[in-house]
Amino acid sequence: MRIRWYACTFTTAESKDVAESMDDGDPLMAECADIRMPLCHRGVCNDTSRGISVFVKRLNASNQPTSSRPQVLWMLQGGPGHSSLAMEASILNAYTASNSTVSVYTMDHRGTGRSTLLECPDDDDGEPQTEDEIVECFRYIKDEFGHDAPMAFSVTSAATDLKVLVQSSMFAQADVYVYGVSYGTYLVERLMHLQPSNVKGYILDSIQSEQFYTDKKDAPYYSNWDRDVGQVVEGFFALCDNDAFCNAKIGPKSRQTLHKAYLALDAGETECFDILYRVAHDGGYAKPSGLVGQTLYEWLVDSDRRVFIPAYIYRLARCNPDDQDWLTQLNYPPPLDDLPEEGPYLRGPGFSDIVYNNIVFAEIWQSSHPSSPSAQRLYQDSVDALLSLGNVVYARNRAILYCLYRQNADPMCADYPRYDESFTYNQDDFWNRTATVPPGASVLMFAGGLDPATPLKYARDEYTTMVGDAKLLLEFPAANHGVLVNSPDRDDSHVSCGAVVLSSYMAHGGDVSQVDLSCMARVEPLRFSHWDRDLAFDLFGSENPYNESAVQVKVLATIQAKFMMAVGVLCGLLVVAVVGLLLLVRQNLTLRRRVAALTTPSKLDAIHETNTETHPLTAADSPSDATDVLETTHQLPPPPPPRRDIVDNV
């Protein structure tokens, strides 16, 4: 296999417009290659005439030690359906952490990104919207790639691409390690089944396990996503109840506090109803609580924002005038029918819905025992979770798409129209089997205790059912999805323990018994009384999210002061006007004395001097200043230079 490398910028722009707007300075350069692969690898599917392209990018080691074998780290993105775009920050961090001693590689999963992209022909909207258009897309893809297309873009096909690459002659003298995150772990696990001879270590981060149980034991199906999220949410609220600060705000049963707030909100029994109902209605949500739940889910998966979830609940339950103004200004998730913007710089959106649905509905979605979950059950799971990306639109679309891809081959699909085309593949012998630790290799596993996407219970199951002793599961109680970058040191948030452990693992040649785990004791725990003050001000208009907005309080105080000043000025003017009228009458009666009166100090002047001394005016009293303050309120001042001030607000 011949590979032609060419120079390319390391950072990939999401679109041509973005690329043109980027700094033209001295960009970090990498090497890229477009590698020809067969559409069907031997033993996977049958087509022998067609080929596809697989995109690969690398940062070559520039400081390689001469005393040891070269080290290579492959890093693979999750999804399925995502390109390597989202991995670039992690790739750069790993390369920098090694002091440029390790060559780091990545690839775009076949069917995504800059590899041969599996997509539908463009219509007016850029994506198929109706069932007829989706089925027509199936026909279009099969016309291009043949009837083997679904299996050609399967997990095993992509894993075989990776095996071909890591076993190529360019790595014959190197120690190869392969890292995957989220769905990327499922891809790496499939590679373990294929057992390439020269891989020394496998790193699984945020694990998609392989055992899909049919009894009462939980199974890692994506169709169980929101049900699993609900369990993580319960764990989050349990931590809140056991935290003195959080308990005092929304405890002693914080989950129940949110549930009651939802009931009051959806029933219109709170002053916040009108605000949230309007946004929810415009966005296509069935209820206002669904909008809140999606917002809070997005905060839950963000290690910086999740600490503000209790503050949101506290304000939602309180719903005073300040809270209502805050909700009016809050940024909300986009409408449910919004589509991601296409990025032509990636020859399309980079993400492939077809790859995602093809793999998920064939391997990671419940399809039997006794049937796939209905749209109603999917939606109810999202409601029960309280914090969820699920909603009635998502649930309905998932059920329809599942039936389309599987051509109604499920009792759940009985009420949906049946078409004469499908897009799915049969599960192979690797499905529903946990990989064995390959000979001469080891496995390092990361799992986060607050990961709603790949819960800890599935990492434990993968570890328990994996045959072999050279394995190590590390649990990070406060980490969410992606431990490599979400396990910050409490004394230096720029250092992530997951990355430190990975470096130690590779430095010790993949020997899991020698890995330095000392950083785990210093990982930042979840402390509800600690937050980033800048982020708090950005989200709540106050450095303390439980207080009223600092800007609003200032404006209200300014308006009140201006009002009282205006009343005082008007009263003063009224006194002046009355005195002036009396003087006018007096002057009419004493015209002869007019000249004499004009040559002496006026009583009117005396009155004016008295008013000025009693109510001195300052620059802050000018009417234009009040306007300036109000404008400042609607157009918040630019934020201060970024800082990561963490404060104790007990």
What's the pLDDT at 233? Answer: 98
Lowest mean pLDDT among 254-268, 437-451, 601-615: 601-615
Q: Which has more confidence, 541 or 16?
A: 541
Residue 619 has pLDDT above 80, yes or no: no
Q: What is the 3-state secondary structure (H, E, C) of 360-415?
A: HHHHCCCCCCCCCCCHHHHHHHHHHHCCCCCCHHHHHHHHHHHHHHCCCCCHHHHH
- At residue 473, the 3 state secondary structure works out as strand
Structural contact between residues 83 and 1, judged by C-beta atoms closer than 8 angstroms: no
DSSP summary character for residue 478: T
Measured CA to CA in angstroms, residue 523 lies from 308, 416, 478, 634 at distances of 20, 50, 8, 39
- At residue 67, the 3 state secondary structure works out as coil
What's the pLDDT at 14? Answer: 57
Phi, psi for residue 645 in degrees, rounded to 5: -75, 115
- At residue 3, the 3 state secondary structure works out as coil
Structural contact between residues 244 and 386, judged by C-beta atoms closer than 8 angstroms: no
Residue 559 has pLDDT above 90, yes or no: no
- pLDDT tens digit string along 426-472? 999 999 999 999 999 999 999 999 999 999 999 999 999 999 999 99
Cis peptide upstream of residue 370 (ω within 30 degrees of 0): yes
Token pair for 374: 């209905």
* Distance (Å, whole) CA 115 – CA 121: 17
- pLDDT tens digit string along 77-95? 999 999 999 899 999 989 9
Residue 97 has pLDDT above 80, yes or no: yes
Contacts of 472 (CB under 8 A, 6+ apart): 442, 443, 444, 445, 512, 515
Lowest mean pLDDT among 7-11, 18-22, 313-317: 18-22
Q: Where are the domains of the chain?
A: 6-12+28-116+157-217+429-522, 243-337+530-540, 550-648
Structural contact between residues 170 and 394, judged by C-beta atoms closer than 8 angstroms: no
Contacts of 503 (CB under 8 A, 6+ apart): 97, 98
Of 132, 188, 126, nearest to 353 by C-alpha is: 126
Helix then strand then coil, in percent of the chain rounded to 5, is 45, 10, 40
Q: Which has more confidence, 638 or 549?
A: 549
* CATH architecture for segment(s) 6-12+28-116+157-217+429-522: 3-Layer(aba) Sandwich (3.40)
Q: Give pTM, 2 decimals.
A: 0.82
What's the pLDDT at 598? Answer: 35
